[in-house]
Structure 1
Amino acid sequence: MTPSRTSLPARAGAVLAVGALTATLGTAAASPASAAPRTTWADADTAAIHPGVQMYTEGGQCTGNFVFTDAEGSTYVGYAAHCAGTGEATDTDGCEAGSLPLGTRVDFVEGGSLLGAGTRVGGGTLVYSSWLAMEATGETEADTCAYNDFALVEVDAADAADVNPSVPFHGGPVGLATDGADAGSTVYSFGNSSLRAGIELLSPKVGLTLGQGGNGWTHSVYTLTPGVPGDSGSGFLDAQGRALGTLSTLALAPLPASNGVGDLSRELAYAQQHSGIAGLALVPGTEPFRGMLG
């Protein structure tokens, strides 16, 4: 596996991992249980921060997956833990890989490509990393270490009004997929790698699942177009428009050009247990799920 931040080289081997990291863990403060969750969002057509937004962490570019909130009404955008990785592109075991610490700043960017840096549309702070959480808790379960690749960036309060939780083009998510996806079923995604030279028509993707692995922790998928470095962290919807997972790896073998997608229901459950963020939950999109109908 090899992390797919664009600043990291694609790793040779069976699978390209989309990142790697480890550092000292600082847990986010728990939110007051009495606080009201956020219920209003920017218009989907004009929101600057949304699923599929480009996220830059100390020069490395990834793609945001879904929007989350907590009991206090704070807003988070998810991406892959390896997007804040400090190790080699071949470092994919989250229980051993190196990471930037919590508190690291992350920029939300629109239009970043090889032709230019794009426009910064907001900022946030890394407040949860599955890799750091697993290191802090002494996680040893092999599948969890291998496939739990999820992180949360808290959107700055000044930028929270510019957030919408809808997935561009496809719409949704309509909820969280908690029972995986059957082999052969349809999946949808929106990758926003800077390697696509800003051509948005290449971002919406549709594909098929090839089955689950890692005792339910990961899904192998084929999409048109395949995921590329910089798409790491992007979200996948199942055939019903539910949030299924997050892009973690780019496979070279045994299924060339397939993608490894971490199971979001498991990753989110781990975060709810170990992040210290009270009331952490996925936010459904304000736009109806349309799939590839656009």
Structure 2
Amino acid sequence: MSASRTIIAITAVVIALLGCGSGSNQVPAADALSLGLPGTSSPANWTLGGVPCALIPPADAAAPLGTGTCPGVRPGAIVRSDVGQCTLNFLFQGSDGSRYIGTAGHCILGTSPFGGDVGEMAWASGTGPVARDADGNPIGEFAYAILQDPKDFSLIRLDPQVQASAGMCHFGGPTAVNDDRPGLTEPVVLNWFGNGVGVGAVLPARSALAAGMPSPDHVFAQGAAAPGDSGSGVISSDGRAVGVLVTVGVHTASIGSGGLDAGLIGMTRLTPQLERAKAVLGLDLVLQTAPTL
């Protein structure tokens, strides 16, 4: 790894380490500006699976030079809202004839000034906040969003004329949904393409290692994330969709004979969130797949 990549990777890990803690030793969320990076102010604390952590803040709405290496509307591409800049995850076909694409819920709901959950929102067609691509062009409007532990997910109803691809930049996929729950002695390699400030300009395609995925609602893994990575779709090494990258910090959920459910980044699993969105919107949503690269 070159020196410049090493510095960026270390910076992202510093953000993760300062993002949150566990128990009485919890550390306040880091401000991207205090680390010499462009970004928004520190997000309010949240919990994922009951574990104190910090939501990955959206980046400033203006994309930094060098990001946007995943053009168009697809998993891994930039999305902008009134809250800031995040990353798109997976594409879905709705039973209403519309196409939907996901990102994190806090990318449109923001964060509570007091910490904790914000709630859940749904918008009828023609009434949702506008979502834009990396160039500022409207791509659709938000139809649904939730920020309520253990869910952090939103869906954008795409405009009919917008071209979209199901394939994740660099990695390809998703090939299907991964609802597996391997124990903590069964490591899983996870991949995503994100637009984190700094690290996203040089290493947008990244991998992480989870000791296992025992929870149906979250995954904790060892990896690096930065402001702007929020909402990235995460796939396992076989291309199946696992969930959504949303938090940073020293996540420690449980210790048992099988190992430690812990990591520096946190993801919300896809299926429970998608099922909730389907129930609220009153329609079926089918994941659109693509071959791995």
TM-score, normalized by the shorter chain, greater than 0.5: yes
What is the letter of the counterpart of residue 270 of structure 1?
A: R
Residue 244 of structure 1 corresponds to which residue in structure 2? 242
Name 1:62's counterpart in structure 2: 86
Instruction: Determine whether 1:124 maps to 2:148.
Output: no
- Whether 1:80 and 2:94 are equivalent positions in the alignment is no
Alpha-carbon shift at residue 72 of structure 1 (Å):
3.3
1:217 paired residue number: 217
- In the superposition, relative to structure 1, how do residues 19 and 270 fare at CA in structure 2: closer, same or farther (>3 Å)? farther
Look up the SS of the partner of 1:150 in the other structure. Answer: strand
Residue correspondence of structure 1 range 166-181 to structure 2 within 5 A: 166-181=167-182
Deviations 1:109-152 (A, max 9, x none): 33xxxxxxxx2244211111134xxxxxxxxxxxxx41111110
Task: Classify the secondary structure of the residue corresponding to 2:284.
Answer: coil
TM-score (norm 1): 0.68
- On the 8 A contact 2:75/2:89 being kept in 1, the answer is yes
Hey, what does 1:196 align to over in structure 2? 198
Q: Where does the alignment leave 5 or more consecutive residues of structure 2 unmatched? A: 1-19, 21-28, 33-38, 47-51, 59-68, 253-260
- Residue identity (%): 25
**TM-score w.r.t. length of structure 2:** 0.69
User: Aligned pairs, how many?
Assistant: 232
Distance 1:167 1:219 in 2: 20
Quick one: distance in 2 between partners of 1:48 and 1:11? 31
Aligned-pair CA distance for 1:90: 6.5
Q: 1:107 to 1:130 in 2, by over 3 A?
A: closer
Query: Residues 151-172 of structure 1, C-alpha deviation per residue, up to 9 Å, x if partnerless?
Result: 100111232xx21110000001
1:8-33 deviation line (CA, Å, top 9, x unaligned): 4245794112479xxxxxxxxxxxxx
1:270 equivalent in structure 2: 276
Q: Name the residue aligned to 2:10.
A: none
| Bigger strand share | 2
CA distance in 2 between counterparts of 1:252 and 1:180 reads: 21
Shift of residue 57, structure 1, vs aligned partner: 1.4
User: Does residue 1:7 correspond to 2:40, yes or no?
Assistant: yes
Matched to 1:283, the amino acid is Q
Single out whichever of 246-255 and 5-14 deviates more from structure 2: 5-14
Shift of 1:205: 0.7
Question: Structure 1 residues 76, 252: CA separation in 2 closer, same or farther (over 3 Å shift)?
Answer: same
3-state SS of the aligned residue for 2:208?
Answer: strand
State the partner residue of 1:208.
Answer: 209
Partner of 2:152: 149
Deviation at 1:4, TM superposition (A): 11
C-alpha separation between the residues in 2 aligned to 1:100 and 1:4?
27
1:279 is displaced (CA, Å) by 2.3
CA distance in 1, matches of 2:90, 2:138: 16
Secondary structure of the corresponding residue to residue 258 of structure 1: strand
1:259 aligned to 2:265?
A: yes
Contact 1:3 1:83 in 2 (8 A): no
